[in-house]
């Protein structure tokens, strides 16, 4: 027991160190080459050789890296909550349909633009200044709308499995409306929406980053309060009830927490695939525990590290092009998880 | 004095489910007293409402009428946490928390007592270790629960219920799908727990033989009848135990200590020691063989032989299988 505790703190420590390293690597790569010693100097407060580097570093790369950390944490934490609450290894942040709601909001904004007579982007396909805010706000409104619908449902029904299925149905229904909008949308809008739906960590800075950070912090607090209940849920709902866990409270905090975490992540950065489902499994396999006191921080660390690394790779070092983040998370993440699953007996881990 | 020795009492309880305007009553007017520090087995056919009764006792579904009181206080007046501190359960639900070690699983039993983070105090740890030792699962404590056998897991689940350290433990079919040795071990383990730690235990089971052997008290539940309570011995002698066997063709034989068909052929033509005759009769019954009057069987011990005599000719078999074959040829 003592040995495994030491083992865990070592893993947590090296995880934090890994996140720090990946953060540095992440801000070091990009289309403009900035020497590494200049970069470290700038972080310690020294002026940089070129002012343009300063702008790139502080107004683009660091906000993007911080966004990657926040989104990585948000999606992993909501995924872990969903998997434990529903006792389903395939559950992820998207099962309650909240992200699909965000997608629907953004689709109405972008694809409905021509119908309602507004433009979120100029002819070159870059967002107008209000466009980014518009996307964030419409995404949030969509997520909140689905969250309210889900809450109404959760109030009526008692069974968790039914909740899961209804969440998936809300997701499909939103997806169908998005399809209708896409069908009638014009080509430029469609491209803009497709790019949004591939996820992007860039473009969030200043006040937006601050808001994202606050919302995610607010979404993390319920997780911390419910650690003990999530551990009891490992044995299933009926045992949890027999140990004094109030399943209603747990369900509401779970809905609110994932609503805030996954909803804001999707509204700000688009639906980022893979992290929410895979990272909790990675955390379980690496830390070999079911204890949520360890799993929550572990998932947060792995999620942050994973998204920082993916983002660094998506910069295609040495090239001016960047790939969409979703491509990287799935392309590199899927083989990693397959390898882990084959190496360990996965069905025993969950 | 009587009030003190009863831990759980039900007065004219009706159980069942309410579903939008219609109520489905499973059983009515159940009255029971669960005795403190005793092992009680609840027996009854499938679908009679045993699990529903357990859920009602746990306060998970409301009773349709009547009162259930735990330590002289209505069960519904207990807050969830304090009920969890008093009653723990072992359910039939499959446990899939693959990444938990045995010790972590047992530690979960302390959930109602720990702070919001679930931090275990040295006292909690002592209770957990005691529970592991009492169930003889201490040696498993660092194994993952996916790596242990069903029988071991069931003992660990009992350890977890013990660690929850209430006065009453309720187990729903703890020995179903276990092998014979594990069944006996678990029931005797539970019996030891009542006797050494003074806990009260209620077990829902279908294992009549083991229940009779280990329980202090039986509750027999049958459709349309009130709950029949009493010591197994008294229920056997009074014939009350036959309430479990609504079928007229089966009866509990107090002499044999097991269930047998009501109509039993006496086979007067067989002669020999009773303990061998009994098994030959069983074999005959299974094969639906009626012995004709002129066929006589004599059993001899050392060496064991079965002499079949018909029309003055005698044939000899040295085991029951051959005997049955010979009889089938003769008739």
Give the per-residue pLDDT at B241. 86
Taking contacts as CB-CB distances below 8 angstroms, the residues of chain A near B120 are none
**Could you give the 3-state DSSP secondary structure of residue A24?**
helix
Is the CB of A348 less than 8 angstroms away from the CB of B88? no
Nearest Cα residue to B163 out of B212, B97, B90:
B90
Q: In chain B, which residue's Cα lies nearest the Cα of A229?
A: B111
Whether the predicted interface score ipTM is above 0.90: no
Query: Residue B96: which of A242, A243, A350 has the nearest Cβ?
Result: A350
Is the CB of B97 less than 8 angstroms away from the CB of A290? yes
Residue B255 has pLDDT above 90, yes or no: no
Give the per-residue pLDDT at B250. 83
Cβ atoms of B57 and B169 within 8 Å: the answer is no
Average of per-residue pLDDT across A247-266: 88
**Could you give the 3-state DSSP secondary structure of residue A72?**
helix
**Both tokens assigned to A116:** 């309602």
Query: Residue A231: which of B89, B96, B108 has the nearest Cβ?
Result: B108
Higher pLDDT: A136 or A319? It is A136
Residue A130 has pLDDT above 80, yes or no: no
Confidence of residue A318 (pLDDT cuts 50, 70, 90): low
- CA B33 vs CA A17, A173, B30, B161: distances in Å: 61, 54, 10, 22
Is the CB of B111 less than 8 angstroms away from the CB of A288? no
**A/B interface, count of CB pairs below 8 Å:** 84
Confidence of residue B42 (pLDDT cuts 50, 70, 90): very high
Point out which residues pair with B201 in neighbouring strands. B39, B169
Query: What is the rounded CA–CA span in Å between residue B78 and residue A274?
Result: 44
Give the per-residue pLDDT at A122. 67
B114 and A CB contact within 8 Å: yes
Taking contacts as CB-CB distances below 8 angstroms, the residues of chain B near A348 are 98, 144, 146-147
Average pLDDT over chain B, rounded to whole?
87
Is the CB of A238 less than 8 angstroms away from the CB of B93? yes
CB atoms within 10 A of CB B142: 12
What is the per-residue DSSP string for A94-124?
TTTSHHHHHHHHHHHHHHTHHHHT--SB-TT
State the greatest distance between any 2 C-alpha atoms of chain B, in Å, as a whole number.
Answer: 88
Give the per-residue pLDDT at A58. 87
- CA B199 vs CA A87, A192, A266, B35, B205: distances in Å: 32, 68, 53, 10, 18
Out of A40-49, B107-116, B183-192, least confident range: A40-49
Residue A47 has pLDDT above 90, yes or no: no
Find the chain A residues whose C-beta atoms sit closer than 8 A to any C-beta of B: 1, 87, 225, 227-228, 231-232, 234-236, 238-239, 241-246, 284, 288-291, 293, 347-350
Average of per-residue pLDDT across B31-38: 90
Out of A18-22, A121-125, B308-312, least confident range: A121-125
- Element housing B42 (H / E): strand B39-43
Query: What is the rounded CA–CA span in Å between residue A238 and residue B49?
Result: 18
Confidence of residue B2 (pLDDT cuts 50, 70, 90): very low
Average of per-residue pLDDT across B302-306: 87
Average of per-residue pLDDT across A108-117: 78
Average of per-residue pLDDT across B173-182: 88
Give the per-residue pLDDT at A1. 40
Query: Residue B91: which of A239, A289, A293 has the nearest Cβ?
Result: A239
Q: Mutate which of B98, B119, B126 to disrupt the A interface (most A C-beta within 10 Å)?
A: B98
B111 and A CB contact within 8 Å: yes
Average of per-residue pLDDT across A334-349: 73
Highest mean pLDDT among A111-115, A130-134, B89-93: B89-93
Q: In chain A, which residue's Cα lies nearest the Cα of B166?
A: A243
Taking contacts as CB-CB distances below 8 angstroms, the residues of chain B near A236 are 93-96
Cβ atoms of A313 and B123 within 8 Å: the answer is no
Q: Mutate which of A239, A341, A346 to disrupt the B interface (most B C-beta within 10 Å)?
A: A239
Higher pLDDT: A319 or B289? It is B289
Average of per-residue pLDDT across A210-220: 92
Confidence of residue B24 (pLDDT cuts 50, 70, 90): confident
Average of per-residue pLDDT across B275-286: 86
Domains and CATH numbers, chain A: 2-349 (1.10.3470.10)
Residue A74 has pLDDT above 90, yes or no: yes
Higher pLDDT: B39 or A290? It is B39
Query: What is the rounded CA–CA span in Å between residue B331 and residue B319?
Result: 19
Q: Mutate which of B52, B85, B118 to disrupt the A interface (most A C-beta within 10 Å)?
A: B118
DSSP A33: -
Query: Residue A228: which of B83, B111, B164 has the nearest Cβ?
Result: B111
Confidence of residue A188 (pLDDT cuts 50, 70, 90): confident
Taking contacts as CB-CB distances below 8 angstroms, the residues of chain A near B105 are 235
Average of per-residue pLDDT across B257-284: 82
Q: In chain A, which residue's Cα lies nearest the Cα of B111?
A: A243
Taking contacts as CB-CB distances below 8 angstroms, the residues of chain A near B103 are 1
Highest mean pLDDT among A95-99, B1-5, B260-264: A95-99
Is the CB of B91 less than 8 angstroms away from the CB of A290? no
Is the CB of A243 less than 8 angstroms away from the CB of B93? no
Query: Residue B88: which of A87, A234, A242 has the nearest Cβ?
Result: A242
Higher pLDDT: A160 or B171? It is B171
Give the per-residue pLDDT at A117. 66
Min Cα–Cα distance to chain A from B60, Å:
8
Taking contacts as CB-CB distances below 8 angstroms, the residues of chain B near A225 are 116
Confidence of residue B3 (pLDDT cuts 50, 70, 90): very low
Highest mean pLDDT among A27-41, A135-149, A290-304: A290-304
Highest mean pLDDT among A119-123, A269-273, B175-179, B188-192: B188-192
Residue A320 has pLDDT above 80, yes or no: no
Give the per-residue pLDDT at B1. 40
pLDDT digits 0-9 by tens, B209-246: 899 999 999 999 988 888 889 999 999 888 888 888 87
Listed in sequence order, the DSSP H helices in A198-288 are 207-225, 227-233, 237-242, 247-269, 275-287
Is the CB of B99 less than 8 angstroms away from the CB of A290? yes
Average pLDDT over chain A, rounded to whole?
85
Give the per-residue pLDDT at A305. 95
Is the CB of A243 less than 8 angstroms away from the CB of B112? yes
Residue B118 has pLDDT above 70, yes or no: yes
What is the per-residue DSSP string for B217-268?
EEEE--TTSPPEEE-HHHHHHHTGGGGG--STTEEEETTTTEEEESS----T
Taking contacts as CB-CB distances below 8 angstroms, the residues of chain A near B143 are none
- CA B105 vs CA A82, B88, B99, B277: distances in Å: 21, 14, 10, 52
Query: What is the rounded CA–CA span in Å between residue B113 and residue B135?
Result: 21
B61 and A CB contact within 8 Å: no
Query: What is the rounded CA–CA span in Å between residue A79 and residue A86?
Result: 11
SS (H, E, C) B156-175: HHHHHHHHCCCCEEEEECCC
């Amino acid at each position: 027991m003592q040995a495994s505790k030491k083992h865990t703190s070592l893993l947590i420590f090296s995880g934090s160190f890994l996140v720090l390293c990946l953060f540095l690597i992440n801000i070091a790569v990009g289309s403009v080459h900035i020497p590494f010693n200049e970069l470290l100097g700038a972080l310690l407060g020294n002026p940089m050789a070129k002012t343009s580097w300063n702008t790139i570093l502080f107004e683009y790369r660091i906000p993007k890296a911080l966004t990657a950390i926040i989104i990585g944490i948000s999606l992993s934490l909501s995924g872990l909550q969903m998997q434990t609450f529903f006792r389903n290894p395939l559950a992820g942040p998207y099962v309650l349909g909240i992200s699909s709601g965000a997608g629907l909001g953004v689709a109405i904004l972008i694809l409905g633009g021509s119908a309602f007579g507004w433009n979120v982007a100029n002819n070159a396909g870059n967002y107008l200044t209000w466009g980014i805010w518009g996307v964030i706000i419409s995404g949030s409104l969509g997520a909140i709308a689905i969250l309210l619908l889900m809450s109404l449902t959760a109030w009526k029904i008692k069974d968790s499995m039914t909740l899961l299925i209804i969440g998936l149905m809300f997701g499909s229904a939103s997806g169908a409306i998005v399809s209708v909008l896409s069908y009638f949308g014009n080509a430029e809008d469609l491209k803009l929406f497709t790019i949004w739906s591939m996820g992007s960590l860039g473009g969030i800075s200043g006040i937006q980053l601050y808001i994202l950070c606050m919302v995610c912090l607010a979404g993390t607090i319920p997780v911390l309060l419910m650690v003990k209940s999530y551990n009891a849920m490992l044995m299933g709902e009926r045992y949890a009830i027999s140990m004094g866990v109030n399943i209603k409270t747990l369900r509401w905090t779970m809905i609110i927490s994932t609503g805030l975490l996954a909803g804001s992540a999707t509204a700000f950065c688009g639906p980022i695939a893979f992290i929410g489902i895979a990272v909790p499994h990675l955390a379980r396999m690496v830390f070999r525990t079911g204890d949520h006191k360890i799993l929550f921080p572990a998932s947060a660390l792995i999620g942050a590290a994973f998204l920082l690394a993916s983002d660094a790779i998506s910069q295609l070092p040495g090239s001016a092009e960047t790939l969409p983040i979703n491509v990287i998370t799935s392309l590199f993440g899927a083989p990693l998880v397959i390898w882990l699953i084959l190496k360990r007996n996965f069905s025993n881990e969950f | 004095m009587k009030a003190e020795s009863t831990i759980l009492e039900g007065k004219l309880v009706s159980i069942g489910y309410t579903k939008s305007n219609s109520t489905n009553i499973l059983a009515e007017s159940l009255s029971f007293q669960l005795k403190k520090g005793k092992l009680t087995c609840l027996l009854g056919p499938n679908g009679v409402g045993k699990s529903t009764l357990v859920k009602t006792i746990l306060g998970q579904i409301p009773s349709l009428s009547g009162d259930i009181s735990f330590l002289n206080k209505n069960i519904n007046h207990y807050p969830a946490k304090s009920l969890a501190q008093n009653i723990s359960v072992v359910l039939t639900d499959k446990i899939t928390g693959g990444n938990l070690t045995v010790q972590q699983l047992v530690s979960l039993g302390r959930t109602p007592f720990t702070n919001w983070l679930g931090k275990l105090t040295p006292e909690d740890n002592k209770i957990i270790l005691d529970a592991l030792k009492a169930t003889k699962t201490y040696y498993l404590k660092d194994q993952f629960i996916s790596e242990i056998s069903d029988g071991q897991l069931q003992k660990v689940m009992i350890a977890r219920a013990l660690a929850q350290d209430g006065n009453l433990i309720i187990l729903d079919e703890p020995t179903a799908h276990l092998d014979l040795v594990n069944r006996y071990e678990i029931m005797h383990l539970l019996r030891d727990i009542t006797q050494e730690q003074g806990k009260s235990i209620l077990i829902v089971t279908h294992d009549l033989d083991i229940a009779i052997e280990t329980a202090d008290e039986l509750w027999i539940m049958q459709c349309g009848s009130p709950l029949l309570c009493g010591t197994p011995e008294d229920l056997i002698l009074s014939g009350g135990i036959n309430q479990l066997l609504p079928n007229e063709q089966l009866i509990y034989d107090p002499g044999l200590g097991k269930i047998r068909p009501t109509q039993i052929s006496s086979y007067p033509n067989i002669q020999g020691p009773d303990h061998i005759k009994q098994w030959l009769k069983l074999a005959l019954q299974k094969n639906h063989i009626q012995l004709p009057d002129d066929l006589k069987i004599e059993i001899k011990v050392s060496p064991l032989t079965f002499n079949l005599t018909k029309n003055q000719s005698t044939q000899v078999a040295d085991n029951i299988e051959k005997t049955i074959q010979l009889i089938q040829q003769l008739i």
